[in-house]
Amino acid sequence: MNIIKNLLKTLPGVRWFLDMKKQLCMIRFQVTQQTRIQQQIYRQTLLSARLQEGKIFPAAYEHQTFSQNGEDGILREILRRLEIDTGRFVEIGSGDGLENNTRLLLETGWEGVWFDGSKECCAIASKANQKHLENKSLKIKQSLVTAENVNELILKMEVHPDTEVLSLDLDLNTYHIWEKIETINPLIAIIEYNGFMPADSKWIAEYNPHGYWNGDFNMGAALKPLDELGKKKGYKLIGCDLSGANAFFVLNNLADRHFPETPDAISLFEPAQPFLLNNPEHRRDL
């Protein structure tokens, strides 16, 4: 078989095709490298601007290991200030488990539950995190999470009511599901917001229990409604990541003590900048 393959490679047409394939792979690699460099330069520009504005947190603490952007670093700084080393998490909309907001917690001694509606994503997550499933530090539940069933699912999966971290990323229905969660009272909530909408907008996506985000602007809610909902639930908004995707909330009593200088939601707002999505190409399935 190898002899035949080597013989085929000597044919002019085949050799030309293989050379073109090699060149295209090299071009793709170089474009990816240049994109990453430009992203980093712009991030540094944004960071410098925020520091000049006196907004050290959360911009200066962004770091990516398993998160899509800098959420890993922001969350670790919050936990450091709250003096929390290990605990429990629940992530609703956890994806394939190779990239989400709580995978780093899992890898550093935490335990928790992931919920996702995609059977394929849950299968990938289970395969990549087999050791955590076996030692029972992780449970994965494949289910379409709605405002009607979210509390029932949380109870069925025996999520501890005093779970420290909640991450909620359901694109279309994020606002409505967070509004209905009653069975847990996390210290920290990471909530996806719609950074395409103005900071002071009251826009909220219409609830559709069986709907999915189709890639347009119709998703989640603007920052202002989430800020108002957080206040009703006893939380204070303490910051947003630079890509304009996630808002970070902490219970009022902890926020007042550990984040006393936090400005209002309008000042904390970061517009959506999807071109900053890192999506590193190194392996993260350990």
Identify whether the C-beta of residue 171 lies closer than 8 Å to the C-beta of residue 92: no
Q: What pLDDT was estimated at residue 166?
A: 98
Tell me how far apart the alpha carbons of residues 50 and 19 are, in angstroms, rounded to a whole number. Answer: 47
Check residue 204 and report its DSSP letter: B
pLDDT > 70: percent of the chain: 92
Q: What average pLDDT does the chain have?
A: 90
Average of per-residue pLDDT across 178-201? 96
Q: What pLDDT was estimated at residue 5?
A: 63
Tell me how far apart the alpha carbons of residues 233 and 249 are, in angstroms, rounded to a whole number. Answer: 10
Where would I find the beta strands (DSSP E) of the chain? Answer: 88-92, 111-116, 138-142, 165-168, 188-192, 235-240, 246-251
Average of per-residue pLDDT across 209-228? 88
Distances (CA, A) of 177 to 26, 171, 196, 226, 250: 45, 11, 20, 12, 18
pLDDT in tens, 148-182: 999 999 999 999 999 999 999 998 999 999 999 99
* Confidence check: pLDDT of 196 > 60: yes
Q: Name which residue leads in pLDDT, 261 or 87.
A: 87
- Residue partners of 98: CB distance under 8 A and separation at least 6: 66, 124, 125, 128, 284, 285
Q: What pLDDT was estimated at residue 285?
A: 45
2-11 contacts, C-beta under 8 A, 24 or more apart: none
pTM of the entire structure?
Answer: 0.88
| CA atoms within 13 A of residue 65's CA, in its CB half-sphere | 16
pLDDT > 90: percent of the chain: 70
pLDDT in tens, 11-32: 666 677 777 888 888 888 787 7
pLDDT band at 1; cut points 50, 70, 90: low
Helices H / strands E in the chain, number of each: 11, 7
Query: DSSP string covering 210-262, please?
Result: T----SSS-SSB-HHHHHHHHHHTTEEEEEE-TTS-EEEEEEHHHHHHH-TT-
Average of per-residue pLDDT across 243-257? 96
Tell me how far apart the alpha carbons of residues 235 and 199 are, in angstroms, rounded to a whole number. Answer: 18
Name the residue among 125, 209, 128 with its Cα closest to residue 170: 209
Calculate the CA dihedral of residues 204, 68, 268, 166 and round it to 10 degrees.
70
Check residue 206 and report its DSSP letter: P
